[in-house]
């Protein structure tokens, strides 16, 4: 595809002024004693630090993030309601490991099962949700894998809903961070439960195992995990100055270590990086030419708000470019790709998003199509 290229510095584009030097260097991330870790910005998706982030590891109870994600989907679609009751099967009730202590043969509200899974990390709650949604856990695992594929989780495969060790059950730190980001962005009304510090069920009070909820008031989730093979794992997320970061640490040696390492990563990210909005979704940025259409021009913009994460104080070193294709032929549908918007820093692309049609353009009349056909032949 050929493109027309527009390039603007972001200062000129947004009318803002900054004076920090673009030559300041960012220190290396802290040394993390873990099998794998990753730190990313939730709004832009930019990775700020990583180690072995694509290695397939045992995820332990980090698995439950996907179980929560799918349950939230069912609630949002209206297929499930918070006050719906779910039966507790003997299989769910007798599971080893962390539990909410739901009794076999009883029925528990979906809301309580979710809280029992998110806060108390209940294996019984996870299986009860899986059986309520899909009939049996193996069928639910198929749904989990379908969602993993849709989200681009290339190094993840689920066998169960709760994370007990099983052959072929694995995930990578990068994939888990992507999933946590999707959960936070898509389901904010349910994500808030990840910040609850205690949960009581059947007169048994259990604390949230995420130590950072007590140590750092900016942390509001996400999930802990532990088995002998996986080690101590934690997905943490925090918001400071309207910037949200997500850290995933897998395979540390202790409960204390998983909390402290995630805290170090979050502090590193907030100290040395910042995130700013560049363009809003569905706003016209430019126009693209359309051949053989009822209109010759179509407004072009972005499907989603465009955020950029960059070294703190270096906003004035960023450059935005809008590349517009010149071979679009009607019909053009709403949302069709017409080009690309890129943000670069020191000649390196640090963010990009598709430029799309903000309106549909139907085919033009026969004479318009014929004239454009001749013009296209001459132009080519």
Supply the residues annotated as catalytic.
61, 64, 121
The span from the first CA to the last CA of the chain, in angstroms, equals 13
Residue 43 token pair: 């709004």
The DSSP bridge pattern shows strands 204-207 and 198-201 to be antiparallel
Contact 92, 117 (CB under 8 A): no
129: Cα within 13 Å, side-chain hemisphere: 38
Phi, psi of 301 (to 5 degrees): -160, -150
Number of Cβ within 10 Å of residue 370's Cβ equals 12
């Amino acid at each position: 595809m050929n493109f027309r290229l527009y390039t603007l510095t972001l200062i000129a584009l947004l009318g803002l002024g900054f004076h920090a030097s673009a030559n300041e260097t960012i220190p290396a991330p802290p040394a993390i004693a873990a099998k794998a870790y990753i730190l990313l910005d939730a709004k832009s998706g930019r990775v700020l630090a990583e180690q072995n982030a694509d290695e397939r590891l045992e995820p332990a109870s980090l698995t439950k993030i996907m179980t929560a994600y799918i349950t939230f989907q069912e609630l949002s679609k209206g297929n499930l309601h918070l006050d719906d009751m779910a039966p507790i099967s003997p299989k769910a009730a007798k599971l080893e490991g962390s539990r909410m202590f739901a009794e076999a043969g009883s029925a528990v509200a979906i809301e309580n099962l979710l809280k029992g899974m998110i806060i108390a990390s209940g294996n019984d709650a996870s299986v009860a949700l899986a059986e309520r949604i899909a009939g049996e856990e193996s069928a639910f695992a198929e749904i989990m894998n379908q969602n993993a594929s849709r989200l681009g989780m290339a190094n993840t495969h689920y066998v169960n809903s709760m994370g007990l060790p099983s052959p072929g059950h694995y995930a990578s730190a990068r994939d888990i961070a992507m999933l946590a980001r999707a959960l936070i962005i898509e389901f904010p009304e349910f994500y808030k439960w990840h910040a609850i510090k205690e949960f009581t069920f059947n007169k048994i009070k259990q604390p949230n195992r995420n130590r950072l909820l007590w140590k750092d008031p900016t942390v509001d989730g996400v999930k802990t995990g532990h088995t002998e093979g996986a080690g101590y794992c934690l997905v943490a997320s925090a918001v400071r100055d309207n910037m949200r970061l997500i850290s995933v640490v897998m395979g540390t040696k202790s409960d204390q270590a998983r909390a402290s390492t995630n805290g170090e990563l979050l502090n590193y990210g907030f100290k040395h990086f910042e995130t700013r909005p560049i363009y809003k979704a569905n706003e016209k940025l430019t126009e693209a030419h359309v051949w053989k259409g009822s209109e010759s021009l179509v407004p072009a913009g972005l499907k989603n708000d465009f955020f950029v994460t960059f070294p703190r104080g270096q906003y004035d070193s960023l450059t935005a470019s809008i590349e517009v294709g010149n071979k679009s032929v009607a019909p053009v549908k709403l949302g069709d790709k017409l080009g690309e918007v890129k943000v670069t820093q020191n000649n390196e692309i640090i963010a990009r998003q598709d430029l799309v049609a903000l309106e549909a353009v139907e085919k033009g009349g026969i004479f318009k199509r014929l004239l454009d056909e001749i013009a296209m032949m001459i132009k080519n």
